[in-house]
Amino acid sequence: MIQDNTDPASSEGTPVLVAVGEGLLEVGVRDDLPSDYLGRGIGGDVANVAVMAARMGTPARLLTRLGADTPGRLLLDFWRRAHLDVDRVAVDPSAPTGLYVNAVRHGGHTFDYYRSGSAATRLSAADVDGRLLDGAGVLHVSGISLAISGSAARAAERAAELARDSGVTVTFCVNHRPMLRPDTDQNLAFARAADIVILSSEDARAMLDTDRPDRIRAALGEGPQEIVLTDGPAGAVVLTDGEIHRVAAPRVVVVDTAGAGDALAGAYLAGRLAGTAPPDALEVAVIAGALSCRWPGCARSYPSAEEVARVRAGASPDVEPQPSSSESA
């Protein structure tokens, strides 16, 4: 359950979303554009969630590490323009910023990651202290936060311990990535102890061997008070208070689906922090996730709160999106 741990210094008294994990620079390649096209985007799952929450008007703080390099500078500049609190983003001159290539082809896309030995993998429990959660209403962690290194996993676990001690809601996106060789037992334990769990149908099959909502609910036990299960263009469901609420996704002209799940998660958590009931928060979140698919890349493609509100009010979602100033990196 979302707790109100409001910091009077935070934006309009709204509790802060705190995300722990990595940021990555995206290099975009597309088959439908000239061969010399090379796009630039902003990624990293928990960082994306924080950006989308900020788009929706929620104060968001990020804990990660970046290299003292151009990719790190580009990420930090973007996050500042996106109004993230980056005071807990450390610059490590002895390690590079991670990056990935997003190759969009007809019928889908592929990712190639270059994060081994990155600054974010050096995140550790020593980076976590009680001030991290000042004014926090939610601590957000993902399966990738746990998988990129043992020390990063310990940082996430330490942050979760402090959150529980402080009455801060712990949220967990499973984000199962086979190439990272995730510890399924560790992910399952973290999910069972979280207050809100967000996972895709693919995540559920990988971690729980089922994508049926009732079986997911049984497998995760009584810990999570809300479970959000996403299913791409079919939309999503939220399981809460013994009920299942389904939300269909609006149809959009898809350019790139990268980061859509993170957009959904960020909008959902922003809604819950604002006091919106889970079914209504999910409706807004599904729209945000769908709208993010109209533009290349991850965080740069995320819609504004105003765009989401217009579509929810009945406007066409296929109006050409206009990048905000923080998307013009």
Cα–Cα distance between 151 and 158 in angstroms, integer?
10
3-class secondary-structure state, position 123: coil
The structure tokens 């390649």 sit at: 29
Query: Are 100 and 24 in contact, with CB atoms under 8 Å apart?
Result: yes
3-class secondary-structure state, position 187: helix
In terms of Cα–Cα distance, which of 14, 92, 122, 23 is closest to 60? Answer: 14
Q: Is residue 85 annotated as part of the catalytic site, yes or no?
A: no
Q: Which pair of structure tokens corresponds to residue 54?
A: 């900020």
3-class secondary-structure state, position 207: helix
How far, rounded to the nearest angstrom, does the alpha carbon of residue 36 sit from its chain's CA centroid?
Answer: 30
Query: Are 47 and 18 in contact, with CB atoms under 8 Å apart?
Result: no
Residue type, 225: Q
Catalytic residue among 45, 85, 92, 262: 262
Active site residues: 262
